[in-house]
């Protein structure tokens, strides 16, 4: 099994999630991914609670679900998903699963950190994992990613492709997590071309498709010709605006979004929630349920870029090779991408 990079006491992989419940009573509703009815005795039983973007976001939640489905296919796990329609659903959804006595439960998204902490305290015999937050409890595995690493590569790529020397970052919520994407992207652009301007905007939501499209249009009107879209379901609106505008490009996020607008999405910054879920599920299969903090970066295949399936001719072999060298420099520790705005202010391009 692949060794994953980590901090704290965690050993590669850990934990997760659950199986079938008759979940219809829960306010968020159930996705029909499990076997239904009473959980089967014996085998691995895994489940997850989605963030408010839900399944079908072509991004964060879908990536997590892909890992869960792989656990079903490869490990024979029973799986179940509860979708949250609002933040008010988080604690009820988590509680329904915890009361069922399942093996492990995934909380998908940092917004669930307080609710998960409460449910985990109330169910000390249960085991939980949370993505994008750190909950310091003995029955919780916390999974985070070095989003700034892959975002740095995306920024370098955007700067090289841009004709106007103006590129944009469109985030969902202006929070520390998204600032990792923003800081890495800006630093990567300035690593290869300090003259490039990076314009930053936030939608204020991960669910507002219309506002995502509107803000992307504002950036395009400002002569931005490459936009890194890190806004969950709101990002689908931005991609729609870019699809309809000639000579401009997007960079997708979390899942492989390249085929949402073939030839218009230069690459996608992969945040391999699916990898984390599956490898943690493997540990659950082997009855290992460690706590601690698991952090995944480039060297762990936890983050990365897609393979430029539709855009190699647009990007060019020279730029692709340059991005590859930057990737190796980050893995080797020669470049440390910033993860805050304060670190970005102090970042100086590195001579390689």
Q: pLDDT tens-digit profile of 310-326?
A: 999 999 999 999 999 99
- pTM exceeds 0.85: no
- pLDDT given at position 42: 56
Cβ atoms of 126 and 101 closer than 8 Å: yes
- pLDDT given at position 58: 79
Tell the burial category of 179 from Cβ atoms under 10 Å away from its Cβ (0-12, 13-18, 19+).
buried
CA atoms within 13 A on the CB side of 228: 39
Would you identify the CATH topology of the domain 30-146+273-300?
Rossmann fold (3.40.50)
- pLDDT given at position 7: 34
Helix (H) or strand (E) holding 273: helix 273-285
Strand 197-202: give its sheet, edge to edge.
197-202, 166-171, 226-230, 249-254, 265-271, 303-305
| Collapsed DSSP state (helix, strand, coil) of residue 351 | coil
Helix (H) or strand (E) holding 180: helix 176-192
CA dihedral over 141, 142, 147, 149, signed as positive or negative: negative
Would you identify the CATH topology of the domain 147-271+303-346?
Rossmann fold (3.40.50)
Considering only CA atoms, which of 348, 317, 351 is closest in space to residue 334? 351
- pLDDT given at position 56: 87
- pLDDT given at position 115: 97
- pLDDT given at position 30: 52
Query: Where along the chain do the CATH 3.40.50.2300 domains lie?
Result: 30-146+273-300, 147-271+303-346
CA atoms within 13 A on the CB side of 134: 12
- pLDDT given at position 36: 39
Which residues lie across from 328 on neighbouring strands? none
Strand 45-49: give its sheet, edge to edge.
30-31, 78-82, 45-49, 104-108, 128-131, 140-145, 292-296
Residue ranges of the chain whose pLDDT lies below 70: 1-42
């Amino acid at each position: 099994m692949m060794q994953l990079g980590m901090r704290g006491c965690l050993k590669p992989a850990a934990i997760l999630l659950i199986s079938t419940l008759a979940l219809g009573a829960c306010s968020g509703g159930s996705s029909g991914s499990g076997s239904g009815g009473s959980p089967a005795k014996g085998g691995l039983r895994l489940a997850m609670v989605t963030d408010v973007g839900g399944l079908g976001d072509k991004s964060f939640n879908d990536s997590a679900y892909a890992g869960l489905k792989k656990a079903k296919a490869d490990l024979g796990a029973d799986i179940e998903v509860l979708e949250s329609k609002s933040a008010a659903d988080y604690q009820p959804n988590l509680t329904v699963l915890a009361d069922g006595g399942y093996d492990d439960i995934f909380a998908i998204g940092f917004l669930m950190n307080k609710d998960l902490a409460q449910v985990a305290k109330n169910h000390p015999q249960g085991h939980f994992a949370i993505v994008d937050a750190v909950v310091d409890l003995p029955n919780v595995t916390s999974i985070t990613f070095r989003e700034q690493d892959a975002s740095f590569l995306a920024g370098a790529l955007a700067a090289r492709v841009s004709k106007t020397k103006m590129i944009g970052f469109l985030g969902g919520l202006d929070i520390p997590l998204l600032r990792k994407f923003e800081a890495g992207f800006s630093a990567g652009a300035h690593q290869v071309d300090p003259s490039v301007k990076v314009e930053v905007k936030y939608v204020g939501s991960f669910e507002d498709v219309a506002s995502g499209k509107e803000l992307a249009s504002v950036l395009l009107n400002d002569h931005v010709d490459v936009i890194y879209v890190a806004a969950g379901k709101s990002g689908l609106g931005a991609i729609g605006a870019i699809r309809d505008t000639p000579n401009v490009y997007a960079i997708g996020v979390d899942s492989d979004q390249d085929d949402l607008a073939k030839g218009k999405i230069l690459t996608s910054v992969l945040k391999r929630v699916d990898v984390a879920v599956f490898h943690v599920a493997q540990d659950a299969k082997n009855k290992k349920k460690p706590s601690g903090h698991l952090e995944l970066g480039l060297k762990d295949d936890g983050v990365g870029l897609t393979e430029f399936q539709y855009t190699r001719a647009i990007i060019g072999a020279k730029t692709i090779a340059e991005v590859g060298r930057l990737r190796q420099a980050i893995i080797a520790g020669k470049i440390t991408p910033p993860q805050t705005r304060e670190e970005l202010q102090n970042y100086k391009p590195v001579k390689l």
